[in-house]
Chains A and B, each alone.
Chain A
Amino acid sequence: AQTVTQSQPEMSVQEAETVTLSCTYDTSENNYYLFWYKQPPSRQMILVIRQEAYKQQNATENRFSVNFQKAAKSFSLKISDSQLGDTAMYFCAFMSFSGYALNFGKGTSLLVTP
């Protein structure tokens, strides 16, 4: 099974600043998908951004962008202009190209302070 590692259990950032969350993964596959999910206190898991491994261009969704380094098996999430509503648990996840199960990391708790 693929392993997803998030090495930062907790992080904090001031409002309007930029923060980067780290994620590494282990796989022998060449094609796969990577995701960042956000889980606010409401508990619902919400998709933030996703990346196809066969695409070299880094995915971007408004204030959220990723730095995908395939050779290094690294997939970090950058949040720009942080907002109080970004406070949540953030999970990195992996899915095989032909699969349907998400393999999650343990998560990073992000606190955005005024």
Chain B
Amino acid sequence: ETGVTQTPRHLVMGMTNKKSLKCEQHLGHNAMYWYKQSAKKPLELMFVYNFKEQTENNSVPSRFSPECPNSSHLFLHLHTLQPEDSALYLCASSQGLGPERYGYTFGSGTRLTVV
């Protein structure tokens, strides 16, 4: 195991569905991140949480709704998505903000397909 676990590994959903992505870490880290990885594009930072508080929302559409109930769990709630939202969604964590000082640990991602 990587230390950061993401479920499900694959998800296919219709544009009218509601689904959630889950990320879990047991590394004792306090900061957690959502990144979007689309084909032929650089990874995009979506959200950042530090000690359960959201510190960054990188102009993400409201159809993506993050939730961080505690420092070990991070969710991404999805509703009324568009086909262009199909991508690999990566979760990462670090002991504190400033991953250079503490190091990022990534999960293996959820491959999302919107049909």
A residues apposed to B, CB below 8 Å: 4, 33, 42-47, 50, 52, 91, 95, 98-107
Beyond the given pairs A102-B43, A105-B42, A106-B40, 17 more chain A to chain B contacts, judged by CB atoms under 8 angstroms and listed by A's residue number, are A4-B42, A42-B108, A43-B88, A43-B90, A43-B108, A43-B109, A44-B2, A44-B106, A45-B92, A47-B103, A50-B100, A95-B99, A95-B100, A98-B98, A100-B94, A100-B99, A102-B45
- With a cutoff of 8 Å between Cβ atoms, the chain A residues found around residue B2 in the complex are 44
**7 closest A-B pairs by CB:** A45-B106, A104-B43, A100-B97, A104-B42, A33-B100, A44-B108, A43-B108
- With a cutoff of 8 Å between Cβ atoms, the chain A residues found around residue B45 in the complex are 101-102
- With a cutoff of 8 Å between Cβ atoms, the chain B residues found around residue A46 in the complex are 106
- With a cutoff of 8 Å between Cβ atoms, the chain A residues found around residue B88 in the complex are 43
CB of A84 to closest CB in B, whole Å:
20
**CA–CA, A102 to B90, complex, Å?**
13
Partner of B104 from the list A47, A98, A99 (CB cut-off 8 Å) is A47
**CA–CA, A43 to B100, complex, Å?**
21
**CA–CA, A68 to B91, complex, Å?**
29
Can you name 16 A-B pairs with beta carbons within 8 Å? A33-B100, A43-B111, A44-B108, A44-B109, A46-B106, A47-B104, A98-B98, A99-B98, A100-B31, A100-B97, A101-B56, A102-B45, A102-B99, A102-B104, A104-B43, A105-B42
